[in-house]
Amino acid sequence: MDQVIYFKPTDKIFHKFEIYEIWPCTIIGKNISGDPIYETCGFDDLDIAIWCVYGHFYTGGLECISDHDTLEEAEEFMMKVLPKLPIVSLTSF
């Protein structure tokens, strides 16, 4: 599998994300077309099939942005391709 990117970095959806994250996924079955169905798993899982980059919406919820064969590819995509998110000030205590 090559990387699969679901949105162009110029799409307006990226203005709705507050943070990105990477999760490994394993295959849990196949859909009616025979394509794999993925579910997130632990980083130490022996059956990791792909690495997914997710965006967290400000309003809550997640969106899968891309799938990659390796963690390194997912990290490179997140750092070099995705629009940079603004730095958020921490709340003082």
Residue carrying structure tokens 């099939």: 49
Closest CA to 52 of 35, 31, 73: 73
Q: Who wins on pLDDT, 65 or 90?
A: 65
Structure tokens at 90: 């921490």
Confidence of residue 16 (pLDDT cuts 50, 70, 90): confident
Residue 39: Cβ-neighbour burial (10 angstroms; 0-12, 13-18, 19+): exposed
Residues 56/88, Cβ–Cβ less than 8 Å: no
Residue 39 has pLDDT above 60, yes or no: yes
Give the span between the Cα atoms of 37 and 26, in whole angstroms. Answer: 8
Q: Indicate the range of 6-15, 64-73, 81-90 predicted with least confidence.
A: 81-90
Confidence of residue 91 (pLDDT cuts 50, 70, 90): very low
Confidence of residue 89 (pLDDT cuts 50, 70, 90): very low
In the beta sheet, which residues pair with residue 19?
Answer: 56
Q: Who wins on pLDDT, 70 or 82?
A: 70
Can you give the residue ranges of every domain in the chain?
Answer: 4-80
Confidence of residue 83 (pLDDT cuts 50, 70, 90): low
